[in-house]
Structure 1
């Protein structure tokens, strides 16, 4: 069925209008936007939607998410990333999550995302200890059934966990080291697995794609990183990785490679336009210049970065260097919601304390771009979604402008970034299909899913609590590693983001 939106306020985010709204009609046929303009003719058989006092805008893009954390929402606080990972991604594990819960976890992630206005998500999926095509298919099944657009990876690590952080081998007692097995996958095996995923899942339903993900340059061998990049470039997909997220990782590059992790990536050929870097907090001026020259992207996870005490990313300098910046929630354990509107507000406000130079603060328009078209570009989907343009896929939101958040209506971009929290969403369309209307998810029976989760989750979480206790024995040594790295970091990278963390002259570029 065609969808005809009449007399709407339209925020297209395209090159012509940007964040300047205009009035008009919009026609969706099949999965695409086929017309935008004033007084368009109504096609026979179209569903006509009165969009007076309503805003049409692109669906939001979540540029970085880990669905494997969704069941740990609200579970942890007061831990830096390296300690938090000990519990959310346990070193010692039992059996992987059941297939049914794996499917439901992915489905729940998509359900919450859609109701929050996210029509495209990037799921950096992690499923230790192995790589099972049938299990990954369940993730694709869930996103297919929910109706969301998704780029899904299967994150790879081929280094032993104790070799991914500085000082840990010397700190960790040998008896604890002996309990932990290392990963066994080789670059050839990972590439063969990815080929199978591309052959069976990539392009599914016209909105699901596969991407390559090497977890981080300190967690993967050079051969694994390069093999993944070769495949990403051959397939024309994003190469997703985590870089310089924490103070520990700022020390890791010089300690392991004698240079920053970004320079190491540059030298081994994996800093490219396909590269999307999650976090990018502890980057130097030299790192930023290399990233800009490479034309790579960053997924900015403002809330997660604060919750884990990681730091404030230098977004203004990254933007100035020409780096594409999208917004991500990160996993729902290090963020606790799938709401990109929350990330937008914090991202806009956070950088106002990063520098006293008010002209360098992030603007609402820049934040909106990061949440839409720039987010799509970080996933290499900029030609598909992220703006309302004829020929693009119909991924859009209809927002009610008659409520508290828009009364009175001053500057629309400011209202969307500083006032909106998703409660004004009246309709979500993904790939031309109405998936949410008046607060109701139309593709999935929410009550049925919640009831099943209510039955299955207590036993699963009890089992996870057992794993938490088992892994707690490692925590003192990881905390000491974090303390040493933090002290060492002061000498390696005194300045983080745009704000000096320790006394000294402000050495910002420009």
Structure 2
């Protein structure tokens, strides 16, 4: 079995013994696995030696929440709250699904950028309307297999009509516009579970790195029987029940108008808060919501950059941590973040939570943020036994960074440099399951220039079609703007300046 010995490196292990505290040592990798960590380790005569002096070895980053379906929409939108942005990034009136080759390239591009910037694992909740197709899901898996990344993948499901998942929509939207939104019969719980079981039997565990997760879009967009069936299967297969809850003030209002309670309380009453539950966003949560989430062992994927760009607010991360909720970091999709760099999310998380309230002792520390980007993210993906830290027996998902580079010059505190100074430019080597997938600044699994050339050739026609789609859907923008305005005016009983939730600024 092949061996790699990283010798005399500075190691940030993110394990239970060391956390973010650096120490000097060697890492012996055998096949896909970390075999030993220590000093003066020996390896076989054919082992590859990587000289670690002046280098930092750390776990690969985990992107706890993203959407590959947005990858071609980078740099396209700004100054839009979520409910308006969705009209253009996820149109109500749709064209045919993106072609299979573009679907492959779209997924591959996200994996390439992720690996190049230190993300070795991501959770991709891609959107592929109008139906769930196993062959198309297999195309996404093939792209990630070719790139060499580790991933949890699912295609988001919803079966509640858009107008029934938004407050005020029936009273605000003219009848002639409502008539345009005929989506046909909704997906049944049994049909989606049949699809999921087929995905588990044919794709789950591919190459040992790629897994299928279950992703009901949101409690207001899915029927209770669909969500219950999803949770039962998630528990059976030990995969995440990956969903979106309380991203915006509008969604907070939705829970109270539809159910007379918050959407977290609604999930709790349905028995849907469990260890398997991973919640993207969790911005507009109450103290009682957080207590329920913590007692259930649920996780949150914190999308600090996306939440700011879409004006959703600032999640109360300190209070979520205090309640016992596991936190990972996500970029969200490239259209609402414009990058897949978790280093960017770390820095923004460090900065924005310092501005969220005057109690500076509650501000997030760099080592906490680094934990969210590594072992915390692995826990949200139910992969903490596999990745997220440098430990014997775990998969060799590692980064090697050059400490003789601007972000570390001069070197004071490694965790603070990683969170506030580094942007991925110091990464020299990226390894996933013991395989070097980037070395000396180049991906080893993909011809990047060939991919760029093909995207440059094929995507302009797709974007022209999408521009026409945007024009068609713009007719709904005044309606969504009015829903947004009405929701922001309703008091849902959250304290605006309580702890680190002060940034939930849309309550007015």
Equivalence for 1:370: 372
Q: 1:351 to 1:397 in 2, by over 3 A?
A: same
- In the alignment, the residues of structure 2 paired with residue 499 and residue 458 of structure 1 have an alpha-carbon distance, to the nearest angstrom, of 41
- In the alignment, the residues of structure 2 paired with residue 413 and residue 365 of structure 1 have an alpha-carbon distance, to the nearest angstrom, of 6
SS of the counterpart of 2:35?
strand
1:232-269: CA deviation from partner (whole Å, max 9, x where unpaired): 00111100000000010110111000110000000001
TM-score, with structure 1 as normaliser: 0.97
Equivalence for 2:456: 454
Structure 2 residue aligned with 1:250, among 252, 255, 260? Answer: 252
- In the alignment, the residues of structure 1 paired with residue 129 and residue 438 of structure 2 have an alpha-carbon distance, to the nearest angstrom, of 33
Kept in 2, the 8 Å contact 1:329–1:335? The answer is: yes
Structure 1 residue aligned with 2:326, among 324, 327, 345? Answer: 324
Structure 2 residue aligned with 1:477, among 462, 476, 479? Answer: 479
Equivalence for 1:127: 128
Equivalence for 1:428: 430
Equivalence for 1:4: 5
Deviation of residue 413 (structure 1)? 0.7
- In the alignment, the residues of structure 1 paired with residue 92 and residue 409 of structure 2 have an alpha-carbon distance, to the nearest angstrom, of 51
- In the alignment, the residues of structure 2 paired with residue 441 and residue 195 of structure 1 have an alpha-carbon distance, to the nearest angstrom, of 34
Q: Is 2:27 aligned against 1:26?
A: yes
Kept in 2, the 8 Å contact 1:59–1:120? The answer is: yes
Q: Is 2:352 aligned against 1:353?
A: no
Equivalence for 2:237: 235
1:332-362: CA deviation from partner (whole Å, max 9, x where unpaired): 0000001000000110111111121111000
Equivalence for 1:188: 190
SS of the counterpart of 1:290?
helix
Equivalence for 1:63: 64
Equivalence for 2:221: 219
Deviation of residue 162 (structure 1)? 1.0
Equivalence for 2:87: 86
- In the alignment, the residues of structure 1 paired with residue 478 and residue 9 of structure 2 have an alpha-carbon distance, to the nearest angstrom, of 58
Deviation of residue 502 (structure 1)? 9.7
- In the alignment, the residues of structure 1 paired with residue 235 and residue 406 of structure 2 have an alpha-carbon distance, to the nearest angstrom, of 47
Q: Is 2:142 aligned against 1:146?
A: no
Structure 1 residue aligned with 2:310, among 302, 308, 313? Answer: 308
Equivalence for 1:508: none
1:278-316: CA deviation from partner (whole Å, max 9, x where unpaired): 000000011011001101000000000000000000000
Deviation of residue 16 (structure 1)? 0.8
Q: Which runs of 5+ in 1 are unaligned?
A: 504-510
- In the alignment, the residues of structure 1 paired with residue 314 and residue 415 of structure 2 have an alpha-carbon distance, to the nearest angstrom, of 23
- In the alignment, the residues of structure 1 paired with residue 492 and residue 333 of structure 2 have an alpha-carbon distance, to the nearest angstrom, of 31
1:474-493: CA deviation from partner (whole Å, max 9, x where unpaired): 000110011001111x3443
SS of the counterpart of 1:212?
coil
SS of the counterpart of 1:233?
helix
- Number of paired residues? 502
Kept in 1, the 8 Å contact 2:354–2:364? The answer is: yes
SS of the counterpart of 1:495?
coil
* Mapping 1:377-416, distance limit 5 Å: 377-416=379-418
* Mapping 1:269-308, distance limit 5 Å: 269-308=271-310
- In the alignment, the residues of structure 2 paired with residue 477 and residue 312 of structure 1 have an alpha-carbon distance, to the nearest angstrom, of 25
- C-alpha RMSD of the superposition: 1.2
SS of the counterpart of 2:207?
helix
- In the alignment, the residues of structure 2 paired with residue 429 and residue 58 of structure 1 have an alpha-carbon distance, to the nearest angstrom, of 9
Equivalence for 2:496: 495
Deviation of residue 495 (structure 1)? 2.6
- In the alignment, the residues of structure 1 paired with residue 58 and residue 131 of structure 2 have an alpha-carbon distance, to the nearest angstrom, of 40
Equivalence for 1:338: 340
- In the alignment, the residues of structure 1 paired with residue 503 and residue 58 of structure 2 have an alpha-carbon distance, to the nearest angstrom, of 38
Deviation of residue 498 (structure 1)? 2.4
Q: Which runs of 5+ in 2 are unaligned?
A: none
Q: 1:177 to 1:60 in 2, by over 3 A?
A: same
- In the alignment, the residues of structure 2 paired with residue 502 and residue 93 of structure 1 have an alpha-carbon distance, to the nearest angstrom, of 32
- In the alignment, the residues of structure 2 paired with residue 491 and residue 131 of structure 1 have an alpha-carbon distance, to the nearest angstrom, of 36
Equivalence for 2:42: 41
SS of the counterpart of 1:102?
helix
